Amino acid sequence: MSGNAFGQHLVLTTFGESHGKAIGGILDGMPSGVPVALSVIQSALDRRRPGHGVVASARKESDSVEILSGLHPDIDSSGRQLTLGTPIGFVIHNQDQASKDYGNLSDVYRPGHADYGYEMKYGLRDHRGGGRSSARETACRVVGGAIASQLLGSSVAINAYVSRMAGVALPDQAKVSLLDARLHPSGCPDVAVGDAMLDAVAALLETGDSAGGVITVVVKGVPAGWGEPVFNKLGALIMHAMGSINAVKGVEIGSGFAAADRKGSENNDAWTGLGESKSNHAGGIIGGISTGQDILARVAFKPVSSIAKAQNSVNRDGDAVKLSIVGRHDTAVLPRACAIVEAMMALVLADCLLLQRIQDPSS
């Protein structure tokens, strides 16, 4: 089974099941001669992998990536290998499956989960962890995004952080330290707010419940001119990519829904120079094309659906059942999902870079 995205130039295909022996993928469309460091890929995977703190699943995976094709075997002094221009194949071996935890779900549909929809579409489903709807699939996105980020180079910086979780929010005007966001287990750039988030999540865990929240992603260094004016607007591509992540229910660019309640004079970004304005309500994108300002997006995640708290549901025969889900599940996906959001943003922007090079080879 596979999932494809970004079909014009970069194509990421993912395969494998969460409770199989491995997951993996193929990233096609990367030009040749791009230096790629495996350490960058592994660092991104380490941020996504489970087993960290009160928020995350207790599943223990090393998430060590093995590159199968597409990179030259020679490694330079900085640990980088050059892309060959051929498809980059990779695999991540699963080491900590616990399929027995899902035995009672073989004919019961979990509330909030994709069980029912999958069975209606395919006629059968893999109930062990959700199969393709498992968040385990997103590890492959992180690999693809980490490779794409190295095509973008160091001039483009993509950073995501948790701005809301379990009802606790970072103030709108708070100064953001991206280093603190990477260091704090909440993924929040403010230590005090992050601690409050973790306390709120811990309280939910005690009751067998889960939490949702919002991830904010900021991109610096994208020049003006990337994106297309109609169907492949840069904002539309970002919303498509983010909306494809498990549990995402909303995406905002710039001021987002807040713009609906503003006047034009309040929401317009008045130019103060060429490509410069004091505000950035547009989120760095106007008319589907980047302005050269920071690209800003917010991604809303629903609460995790697999919870220990008893819920009403039905089985395959339509009979009412009470369901309490055992096993190892995240209480909130937000801290781990920061790496996934960054990966999807990198895939979108790398594709836009390649498209721009076709139009303007000097870019």
Q: Is residue 299 pLDDT above 90, yes or no?
A: yes
Looking at per-residue confidence, does 128 or 30 come out higher? Answer: 30
Overall pTM > 0.75: yes
Domain of residue 239, residue span? 11-359
Could you tell me if residue 94 is inside a domain?
Answer: yes
Q: Is residue 49 pLDDT above 90, yes or no?
A: no
How much is the pLDDT for 6? Answer: 45
Mean pLDDT of the chain: 88
Q: Determine how many CB atoms are found less than 10 A away from the CB of residue 283.
A: 26
Summarised one tens digit per residue, pLDDT across range 36-48 is 999 999 999 999 9
Could you tell me if residue 180 is inside a domain?
Answer: yes
Selection from 100-109, 126-135, 231-240 with the highest mean pLDDT: 231-240
Q: SS3 of 286, please?
A: strand
As a whole number of angstroms, the distance between CA 282 and CA 352 comes to 18
N-to-C CA span, the chain: 36
| Domain total of the chain | 1
Q: Is residue 352 pLDDT above 80, yes or no?
A: yes
Minimal CA–CA distance to 215: which of 294, 159, 175?
Answer: 159
How much is the pLDDT for 20? Answer: 67
Could you tell me if residue 353 is inside a domain?
Answer: yes
Could you tell me if residue 303 is inside a domain?
Answer: yes
Residue carrying the six token digits 């009979």: 319
Could you tell me if residue 270 is inside a domain?
Answer: yes
CATH number at residue 91: 3.60.150.10
Could you tell me if residue 68 is inside a domain?
Answer: yes
